[in-house]
Amino acid sequence: MGDTIEKVSIIISKGSLDAIYPGLIMANGARAEGIEANLFFTFFGLDAIHKARHEHIKLATVGNPGLHFATLLGGLPGVSTVMTHYMNSKMEKLDIPSIPEFIEMIADTGAGMYACKASVDLFGLEKNDFIPQVQDIITVGEFYEKAAGGQIIFT
């Protein structure tokens, strides 16, 4: 069975829309293929599972050359909001779920969801700040125990 993937552990480390979606799509896609999947949120990636913040995830408009407009422009007030709105409406047309809906769906597929202890401590957060789908706040050592025997994907 060396040519099949049985398990993946996906780390989401950034908090922008364009940084969160790929990890979620990979996790959801893994479950759809019958692959066991864990999601591990660290640093600003924690925003994806933060009760108050996960509905307000923004597209990165500064330091994002993929947008093909001047960095100076991307930093103007409101630009990130407008671009996020544009991106969200495009995704809605393609029936791509919003981040909160997507995370709930991925939890329903049976994927594990964990927050990184070091980041949680750093930002002064606690379990109650996260959506109920988050199973636990775990250390890096515990993450490796959970990831054992599978592939690790860092995003």
Partner 1 sequence: MSTTTIAATDLELSDEGFFVHPEQWTEDMVPELARRDGIDVLTDAHWQVIRFMRAEYFEKGTGPTVRVLGKTSGVSIKQLYQLFPKGPAKIAAKIAGIPKPRGCI
| Interface positions with partner 1 (CB under 8 A) | 25, 28-29, 31-34, 95-97, 102, 105, 108-110
Residue 151, classed as helix, strand or coil, is: strand
Taking the least distance from each CB to partner 1, the nearer of 33 and 121 is: 33
Q: How far is the CB of 31 from partner 1 (least distance, A)?
A: 7
* C-alpha distances out from residue 103 to 72, 76, 110, 128, Å: 33, 30, 11, 17
Radius of gyration of the CA atoms of the chain, in A: 16
Q: How far is the CB of 104 from partner 1 (least distance, A)?
A: 9
Taking the least distance from each CB to partner 1, the nearer of 18 and 142 is: 18
Taking the least distance from each CB to partner 1, the nearer of 37 and 49 is: 37
The token pair that represents 98 in the structure block: 């919003």
Q: Single out the residue of 58, 146, 153 nearest to residue 98, CA to CA.
A: 58
Taking the least distance from each CB to partner 1, the nearer of 28 and 42 is: 28
Residue 72, classed as helix, strand or coil, is: helix
Q: How far is the CB of 6 from partner 1 (least distance, A)?
A: 11
Residue 38, classed as helix, strand or coil, is: strand
The token pair that represents 45 in the structure block: 């990636």
The token pair that represents 72 in the structure block: 């100076």
Q: How far is the CB of 52 from partner 1 (least distance, A)?
A: 25
